[in-house]
Amino acid sequence: MSSNEKNSVTILTESQLSSRAFKDEAYEFYKELRKSQPLYPLSLGALGKGCLISRYEDAIHLLKNEKLKKNYENVFTAKEKRPALLKNEESLTKHMLNSDPPDHNRLRTLVQKAFTHRMILQLEDKIQHIADSLLDKVQPNKFMNLVDDYAFPLPIIVISEMLGIPLEDRQKFRVWSQAIIDFSDAPERLQENDHLLGEFVEYLESLVRKKRREPAGDLISALIQAESEGTQLSTEELYSMIMLLIVAGHETTVNLITNMTYALMCHGDQFEKLRQQPDLMNSAIEEALRFHSPVELTTIRWTAEPFILHGQEIKRKDVIIISLASANRDEKIFPNADIFDIERKNNRHIAFGHGNHFCLGAQLARLEAKIAISTLLRRCPNIQLKGEKEQMKWKGNFLMRALEELPLSF
């Protein structure tokens, strides 16, 4: 979005927020919003109208605000409910990210045992083996596209093994995941995405049938057991939960590994500092999460009860979208917010959200990034960006901040 376009826009739309042009200039745009328009009007077509939130303190407040709901049904009456945008919507949206207490607590409890600190630490050797195996394949070539060759396969292998999903299906997950996070109400995109989601539902039906016949010690088998008990999980919730774990189990980490590597390539002094002081890795990961937040915008919240914010009424049924990327660049919270500093102190970023919906897989994502980046720097000490940083392109995507590719030589 050009400066002229930004000045003339009165209402942001989904297509603008999803555009590559917006991603390229988003940080400057957010900076202006934080100064003068912390509640910026937006319209998401059939999903409603509302505002984009850009300031950190507002984000913290709203992420915990019980007047905002993730489940559409907790806000709209039967007469007010919109028709489903997608045929397969019901089968893939009944997960904890789209739910409110008490349903959210019930759904989260079913899977959180797999993501405890102890369980995550047990995956360390496995993740290290995966990282080394992936680099073994590309190191003789002295070149790789970090996204395709390393950042994507590493977390998708990990979550596939946790869930008990055949690894040969992982490329399908990539296509299906993009259809799920590709928020769009354009008719042609809706039709294409609905077709892909139909394929995903068919895959899940087949997978669940197989797991029912041959249960194992994996997470999907555990969820099927919960479903069979009758009061824990419906069939739609089962499919939705598996879908969420597949998508959320790798998308954020792909972006974290890629965006962190990109930030290091663009800030040679910080890259060299990390190479010389590997004990700064944890701090560097937190700064990468803040600087290029993997999830740029939150999923939708609807207002169940009206309230006032900055003198403006937020009406019932209004849509609220929070820019995590903007909140994490808020100058009032982060001194020199636009500077990438791997030694930043008191880094209170909200890249993994806040409140009830804080990312369940945050510990796993951090561990995967730590192993992936540490192994990369150790095994490829002369790594560098192949091409100019200005040539790297952000994907046009509503929710995520993700690079199309990241070519590296070493």
Where are the chain's structural domains? 3-409
Average pLDDT over residues 84-88: 63
Model pLDDT, residue 6: 42
Model pLDDT, residue 1: 41
Model pLDDT, residue 178: 81
SS3 content of the chain, % helix, strand, coil (to 5): 55, 10, 35
The answer to whether residue 104 scores a pLDDT higher than 90 is yes
Top-confidence range, 159-168, 318-327, 391-400: 318-327
Model pLDDT, residue 80: 83
User: What is the identity of the amino acid at 243?
Assistant: M
Lowest mean pLDDT segment, chosen from 45-49, 50-54, 82-86: 82-86
Q: How high does pLDDT run on average in the chain?
A: 91
pLDDT band at 191 (very low <50, low <70, confident <90, very high): confident
> Please, which residues have CB within 8 angstroms of residue 59's CB and are 6 or more apart in sequence?
53, 322, 323, 324, 327, 350, 354
The answer to whether residue 221 scores a pLDDT higher than 80 is yes
Model pLDDT, residue 269: 97
Average pLDDT over residues 77-106: 80
Give the pLDDT confidence of 114-149 residue by residue, as tens digits.
899 999 999 999 999 999 999 999 999 999 999 999
> Please, which residues have CB within 8 angstroms of residue 58's CB and are 6 or more apart in sequence?
38, 309, 310, 322, 327
The CATH homologous superfamily of the domain defined by 3-409: Cytochrome P450 (1.10.630.10)
Q: Is 6 helix (H, G, I), strand (E, B) or coil?
A: helix
Model pLDDT, residue 42: 95
Cα 329 from Cα 343, distance rounded (Å)? 16
pTM of the model: 0.92
